[in-house]
Homo-oligomer: A and B are copies of this chain.
């Protein structure tokens, strides 16, 4: 099912380029996309920004935004997608930042909170989710939601 979804994304984006910015999924979306032979026609690559330092350094996410809103927030998801689109010079970028658990964070987000960002030439936006299940389940649902968001926008 996941391979089907990934192939659908690559097919619908034919002629365009895609980049990813992953925090809590840690490379899962990139790994799924690149499981498909020929994916390099669409997928240019991504940045795994597992720490705030990397979100700032490589994706250009504002430090005060990270401090004020927390990494798990809609504005940061949006900024990550915008940053990935720019850093990788891609038509479209998708981002994931969330709290997969088991531990919490300092901003009071419940475990399972995930923000998915999307950016293209029309602008950027973020969608929020609250997934249930353990760390693996939250991460898998987040990756799937990111791919679904790309489909819904193209």
A22 to B46: give the CA distance in the assembly, Å.
Answer: 10
A54 CB-CB contact with B under 8 Å: yes
Closest beta carbon of chain B to A150's beta carbon, Å: 16
A30 to B46: give the CA distance in the assembly, Å.
Answer: 11
Q: 0/1 per residue, A112-144, Cβ < 8 Å to B? A: 000000000000000000000001100100000
Interface size on A, residues (CB 8 A): 39
Q: 0/1 per residue, A52-64, Cβ < 8 Å to B? A: 0110011000000
Q: Are B24 and A34 in contact (CB under 8 A)?
A: yes
Closest beta carbon of chain B to A60's beta carbon, Å: 13
Q: A39 — which chain B residues lie within 8 A by C-beta? A: 26, 50
Closest residue of B by beta carbon distance from A17: B51
Q: Which residues of A contact B (CB under 8 A)?
A: 20, 22, 24-31, 33-35, 37-40, 43-51, 53-54, 57-58, 87-89, 101-103, 135-136, 139
